Amino acid sequence: MRLLVTGGAGFIGVNFIRYVLAETEDVHVTNLDALTYAGNLESLRDLADDPRYRFVQGDVRDAELVVELVSNSDAVVNFAAETHVDRSVDGPATFLETNVVGAGVVFEACRRAEVDRVLHISTDEVYGSIEEPDSFTEDDALRPNSPYSAAKAGADLLARSYGVTYDYPIIVTRTANNFGPYQFPEKVIPLFVTNLLDGRRVPLYGDGSNVRDWTYVVDNAAAQWLALTGGRAGEVYNVGAGNELSNKQLTYALLERLELDEDMIEFVADRPGHDQRYSVDTTRIRELGWAPATTFDAALDATIRWYRENEWWWRPLQAAGASRRRGTVRR
């Protein structure tokens, strides 16, 4: 299989590429990534000489480039997206351009090239918030509450339209919160872990009661590969491990493992439009044969260990982020 992965230098894309190359022998991966602030080739530097791996720097909005790469692919997985909710609140335009326009360029190139299998990676945030004890199914309405999730919902609907209008079915997965190695340190778990390793307090939004379902990224990579290779064309699959924790519970789990106390928590003003709870019904993907292979506790331990042992990877990103913040006037 000739597999094109867009956004493969980002967190989940990196782990997906690593999973595919480790679990297969006949898949050749081309990784298209624009290398924005969150794309990091250092995450894949050990694969640079792998004959089954190729990197191409470019933007998914570049139709000419995307058409060229798609025309030489048997399957396409679209990870390319802006993903940080806080950044979407500060500036939605980039999210609309990459997450909607970029996805549209990929979908159209795939349709014209008649690519056999196309998988678009979305998020559980497109559904909005849900009260306990309910969980969203794939047939529930999309009610996004942030510019990020609205942009992702727009791409989901565009994927659906390709099935209806052109009879060109695109598989969509809506994933819960991921964590694990190679995650950019603006996201909550790597941000909190690296802050705590440096003896700095962690900023917890509001009262910390917001609930998320946490999935180890390696388990998620396995789910994405299964959806691509074994899923029904045009189907939507929710992916989540069922590890629901409030942000405060997650913070205490990190503090306990690092032998620190609650004095390290700094409660900060909540962000606008902050969804209270995400929860998805994963019956459909589990019926394909997927289940998380790693417990939450084991995965969190492994993640903390990875950040302890790989300062070479995250410290330059942390320093670059601090430099950007010093040079930015926030309004």
If you search the block for the tokens 């139709």, which residue do you land on?
A: 63
Does the active-site annotation cover 148? yes
Does the active-site annotation cover 297? no
Q: Which residues, at least 6 apart from 220, have a Cβ–Cβ distance to it below 8 Å? A: 12, 15, 175, 178, 239
Q: Which residues, at least 6 apart from 240, have a Cβ–Cβ distance to it below 8 Å? A: 124, 175, 176, 213, 215, 279, 280, 282
Does the active-site annotation cover 124? yes
Helix H or strand E encompassing 54: strand 53-57
Among the listed residues 148, 182, 237, 307, the single catalytic one is: 148
DSSP reduced 3-state for 252: helix
Among the listed residues 33, 59, 124, 219, the single catalytic one is: 124
Please list the alpha-helical segments (H only) found in the chain: 11-23, 63-70, 85-90, 93-96, 103-113, 147-166, 188-197, 217-230, 247-257, 283-287, 296-309, 311-326
Among the listed residues 82, 108, 125, 156, the single catalytic one is: 125
- Distance from C-alpha of 235 to C-alpha of 38, rounded to nearest angstrom: 29
If you search the block for the tokens 């396995």, which residue do you land on?
A: 222
Tokens of 168: 């060109």
DSSP reduced 3-state for 179: strand
Return the closest-CA partner of residue 75 out of 163, 4, 22: 4
DSSP bridge pairs for 240: none
Order across the sheet with 244-246: list the strands: 177-179, 211-216, 244-246
- Distance from C-alpha of 262 to C-alpha of 242, rounded to nearest angstrom: 26
- Distance from C-alpha of 203 to C-alpha of 321, rounded to nearest angstrom: 16
Tokens of 317: 């990103």
Catalytic residues: 124-125, 148
